[in-house]
Structure 1
């Protein structure tokens, strides 16, 4: 009996402590059914998922799966959720009605909004209204409200400890960071060494792929991922939000579309990233780093060759790389 109890407890502890999730995008016309996708997550011990809208079929398929979920408020929806009633309806329809069977963890109110975007003024009011609706449903201890940014908001990123948001981004991000601090919520950040490398080929490819042996620069950083993440942490400190944790809501490497976008490089990146985020960064050594790989499938209706080739799996559910998620 004791041995059976141990066997039951250990897998559940492993799932609870898992730091790796995978983003599930659906911009394709050849993907498996939602139920098949959930089964694919479970069979590969992937315990976390991000979806980019509250897709009802996906939410139905997630019921009872225990897969922890990030669900996005789409950028197109932000303005409407500046109305408190509309935000309450959105939360009731997409969160509360599924909350007994779906393990919601974060709500990402907007994805990669920049200070000059038309939606920028809607992000914080929408976050506040969604938070109020979550509080009214007594779910505030279970679900955290945030937004997902990218590293282009940084005006300075090197050396990492000098990381700072750009002058244009400070006015946008500071009140959001205050909101996150007040509510004990993390900042969601999409972190892509691939884009940094392809934007500056003087960067060592092996540094971007976690393959550097020993320190690659005078700052003591051995990989670009840690350098990008710690630059964001330094930037948060400079806007008086030192206690806000960062969850990496996307990170990936395409297998086609550029000379650096090869199956070998992508497989190397994903394998090394999965192993690396079990620990921390030089600035935040206490790991693991909660990280969501982008993405589950190649998506043939996305724009651009690179964008169509981030999948860890082909649409026929065959793995593109040999990865262990547990």
Structure 2
């Protein structure tokens, strides 16, 4: 009887262990998963990363830590992950900057967004909105364009800094709408919106999450959403593209990538964990409140194709802007 029990236990282990091994080998080692956020704590990227990390712990069966490595527009954190071991233990919570824009914006960059990383999953994007000071005599985008052309070189738009998506959005708008909006860079979104509310600048292309309280309080007027589809946070606000600027599409996307050379089985394990987390109602609700619009596909190849298209698109916009950072 004892021998039979031992044989049964061995047979059960032979069936279960190969399956469990793929999910728990890192948990068993006691090594935490490091989710690198290339920006300081407290911003929208950090908030989303922490929300997702909390959900991943139970799915992966291992500790997940959020590691903030800020600087150089996201390049420091991205470079750290690119140089990490390709074992799936150090991954990047990337955004448009390090994964698409910076390769064209910075004179020297130590990684390539398309060659230095293995895509894990496309999480989605954070829509931007075009907001103006209430005193500006424009109730929609067409009126803004007419007013801007009648006052060439006099209207200003604030951004969170040179080369940020809020800067390049204005460059793209000028190009497509034929306007001459003047760029005023700030050290962050907070100072930019503070000056906009005070009337020191005319407008801004900023993320919907940050702008929403000012819009609701009547301190800023929203003219349009900068993506091709309306935002869930502002469903009644039309897109900029639908108001006479076809082709205008600007948002901040979020993608998870690992170092190049990460084994396919590790990519599959992480992809399934993130996809499972995103489907959970509580997390989905939290991310929606944080402004995230989910990606249409969780397939890693979706992120690879998307990143490639974004790198090409922003290369032309950066060139038009003349912006170049050290």
TM-score (norm 2): 0.29
Greater length-normalized contact order (CA 8 Å, ≥ 6 residues apart): 2
TM-score (norm 1): 0.29
Q: Report which of the two has the higher share of helix.
A: 2
